[in-house]
Amino acid sequence: MTESRISPRIEVEAYADAEEAAQAAAVAIADWLAAGLSENERASFVATGGRSPGPVYDLLATLPLPWEQVAVTLSDERWVPPSSPDSNEKLVRDRLLTGEAAGARLVPLWSDAATPADAADAAEATVADLLPFDVVLLGMGDDGHFASLFPGNPSLDYGLDPDSGALVIPAPRGEPAPPQDRISLTLHALTKTYLIVILISGETKRRIVEERDDLPIHALFRAAGDTPVRVIWSP
Ligand SMILES: O=C(O)[C@H](O)[C@@H](O)[C@H](O)[C@H](O)COP(=O)(O)O
């Protein structure tokens, strides 16, 4: 593993391949959950969507943690029911809440509310009950978005406002992204945690992290304060 520093606190940890990166992320998450559970009755984990985290969840589901003491919520959700193949809740139910981790408690963001805004309002209280999170897992898009906080989206400024006080907001579909309405945790919510793990791959994403400072992900780095941020990368 090699490390490159882009700031005093953020290090890009380079792993040989996606499998090694997933292993490193799973170990980081499991260690932090175990540490939280050594001090508290409950722990909470923010899982993310997309293509990258599935192998991490597969590994976590094999680990003998006291998962019945762990609450799992989502960094964001597409405005689709949990039966949809696009649902992040479905991804987490299928890949994480199985095996050893079947007993974990899922706190979803989607509900049968009339609109994403109504669902976000309803999720505000259930997410607030989980704070501070023990660990947050995020991915990042090629545009530097994380969760559903997309460059150019009308919800972005509010979503990145560290003083907003809001935990969960609607993110409308738009041009260029996202392709469908979303619900997202805010920067304010996602930085109320003891560890942030960002799982990315490919040169484009590594260069975004290392060479730019103007995208949503960089606002997260700045807002993280004393919260450790681990950027786990593979080619
Ligand atoms: O709902 C989602 O799609 C995710 O929460 C999203 O924020 C994801 O983390 C990034 O788009 C990176 O996705 P990949 O890991 O597939 O590149």
18 lies in some domain: no
Mean pLDDT of the chain: 95
90 lies in some domain: yes
Q: For the CA atoms of 183, 198, 226, 192, what is the dihedral angle to 10 degrees?
A: 20
State the pLDDT at residue 4. Answer: 38
The CATH code of the domain that includes 230 is 3.40.50.1360
Q: Does residue 183 line the site of ligand 1, with CB under 6 A?
A: no
Q: Does residue 216 line the site of ligand 1, with CB under 6 A?
A: no
Asked if residue 235 has a cis previous peptide bond (ω within 30° of 0), the answer is: no
Q: Does residue 51 line the site of ligand 1, with CB under 6 A?
A: yes
Name which residue sits closest to atom 13 of ligand 1, judged by CA.
50
131 lies in some domain: yes
State the pLDDT at residue 7. Answer: 46
**Residue 65: domain span:** 45-203+213-234
**Angle, alpha carbons 41-47-49 (nearest 5°):** 165
Ligand 1 centre distance from Cα of residue 150 (Å): 11
Q: Does residue 52 line the site of ligand 1, with CB under 6 A?
A: yes
Which stretches within the chain are classed as H helix? 18-39, 54-60, 88-95, 116-128, 156-160, 187-190, 203-211, 216-223
| Lowest-pLDDT choice from 63-67, 69-73, 126-130, 225-229 | 225-229
153-172 pLDDT per residue, tens: 999 999 999 889 999 999 99
Q: Which of 75, 96, 205 to mutate to test the pocket of ligand 1 (most atoms within 8 A of CB)?
A: 75
14 lies in some domain: no
9 lies in some domain: no
Ligand 1 centre distance from Cα of residue 160 (Å): 17
129 lies in some domain: yes
What letter represents residue 71's amino acid? Answer: A
- Residue 5 pLDDT class (50, 70, 90 cuts): very low
Q: What percent of the chain has pLDDT over 70?
A: 96
> Does the reported pTM lie above 0.90?
yes
Q: How many domains, in total, are found in the chain?
A: 1
Report the C-alpha gap between 110 and 163 in whole angstroms.
Answer: 24
Report the C-alpha gap between 100 and 144 in whole angstroms.
Answer: 33
What DSSP state is assigned to residue 209? H
Q: Does residue 144 line the site of ligand 1, with CB under 6 A?
A: no
39 lies in some domain: no
Q: Does residue 178 line the site of ligand 1, with CB under 6 A?
A: no
Four-residue CA torsion sign, 21, 100, 131, 142: positive
What letter represents residue 108's amino acid? Answer: P
- Residue 177 pLDDT class (50, 70, 90 cuts): confident
Ligand 1 centre distance from Cα of residue 230 (Å): 17
Query: Is the pLDDT score of 218 beyond 60?
Result: yes
217 lies in some domain: yes
60-107 pLDDT per residue, tens: 999 999 999 999 999 999 999 999 999 999 999 999 999 999 999 999
Q: Which of 52, 143, 234 to mutate to test the pocket of ligand 1 (most atoms within 8 A of CB)?
A: 52
- Nearest ligand 1 atom to the CA of 201 is 17
Q: CB of 48 within 8 A of CB of 75?
A: yes
